[in-house]
Structure 1
Amino acid sequence: MKQEDLIKEAFHIFEEINNHLAINYYSMLEIELSPKQFMVLQIINENHPVKVHEISKQLGLSMSSVSQIVNRLEKDYYVSRDINPENRREILLSLGPSGDKFFKEYERVDRLVIDNYFSKLTIEETRLFRDIAKKIYNVITSGSKSND
């Protein structure tokens, strides 16, 4: 079997895993967020407080696009805006009450998935899984493209 075929098979398996987890676990979140809203929330959760232009740069979206996403998230209390005390012209974004609640619930569901599935791997298999994931991430984000 060629490398390309093996990779396509792995992609298919991961799609099936994601579908199963989405239906059986992540649907428990009962929160409807678009993929872009989720990505913005993740950045805020991991880096808060964060500036709009930092999110724009990280996601490769225009400032206008990020502002529209943030406006929708703020309306539902997922995000809160505060003036940067060090530079009053800048707005800092943090999680709002709905955002805090969402990530607490998301963490609970993640723990269920880990306990029910990933805990079945040995520690060595878990390390290998992590190392392969890191390597793929580094290859993808290194910016080098190959057209062999």
Structure 2
Amino acid sequence: MKRIYEIVKEINDTTQSVNTLIYQKYNKLLDENIPSAQDLLLTTIHQHKELTIREIAEKLKITPSAASQQVSKLANLNYVNREINEKNRREILVTLSRKGVEYIDKQEKVERIITEKLYAKIGEEKLIAFRDILLDIKQVAEDEFK
């Protein structure tokens, strides 16, 4: 077990080092005023196109109050739009604004650059193996933490 811990520690340390190098290189292309919780919220809205506050809370595993506060902050910064749901007037629908879409577009541009500059040089076979290992770890985590 000690050997596995050492391997996992080395993986985590290496991952942190790579992420730090990427952040230092590409941070200028991104909007550094968005904290990670709000970035995750923007990404979640992007993935689903339109969500209610309740759905956001469920997907991010936070309280509806916390979701509402995060949405309000992003709305004040013009990253999201809030509209009353015409089908259920008690619900607020949240979508990305033009600025929110531009933020996601910047993220995706940086992901493409990183893919080209780093991951493409690793080779498809190794990337597939890496992806498969990560999917295995994700499955174990989901099973373990249900």
Does the pair score TM above 0.5?
yes
Aligned mates of 2:35, 2:42 — CA distance in 1: 11
* d(CA) in 2 for partners of 1:121, 1:28: 24
Q: Return the alpha-carbon distance in structure 2 between the equivalents of residues 52 and 144 of structure 1.
A: 25
Deviation at 1:91, TM superposition (A): 1.2
Unaligned 5+ residue runs, structure 1? Answer: none
Counting aligned pairs with the same residue, the percent is: 28
**SS in structure 1 opposite 2:83?**
strand
Following superposition of structure 1 onto structure 2, how do residues 28-39 of structure 1 map, counting pairs within 5 Å? 28-39=29-40
Contact 1:26 1:109 in 2 (8 A): no
**Aligned: 1:120 with 2:121:** yes
Deviations 1:81-114 (A, max 9, x none): 1222322221111101111110111111111100
User: Which residue matches 2:57?
Assistant: 56
**For residues 116 and 140 of structure 2, what CA distance do their matches in structure 1 show?**
29
What do you get for the CA RMSD once the two structures are aligned? Answer: 1.5
Q: Provide the residue aligned with 2:112 in structure 1.
A: 111
Can you give the 5+ residue segments of structure 2 that lack an aligned partner in the other structure? none
- The count of residues paired between Structure 1 and Structure 2 equals 145
C-alpha distance in 2, partners of 1:32/1:105? 14
**Paired residue for 2:76?**
75
Runs (4 or more) in structure 1 with deviation over 3 Å come to none
SS of equivalent to 1:93: strand
Tell me the distance in 2 between the aligned counterparts of 1:54 and 1:25: 32
Please give the TM-score of this superposition, normalised by the length of structure 2. 0.92
In the other structure, the counterpart of 1:134 is 135
Q: Distance in 1 between matches of 2:84 and 2:124?
A: 45
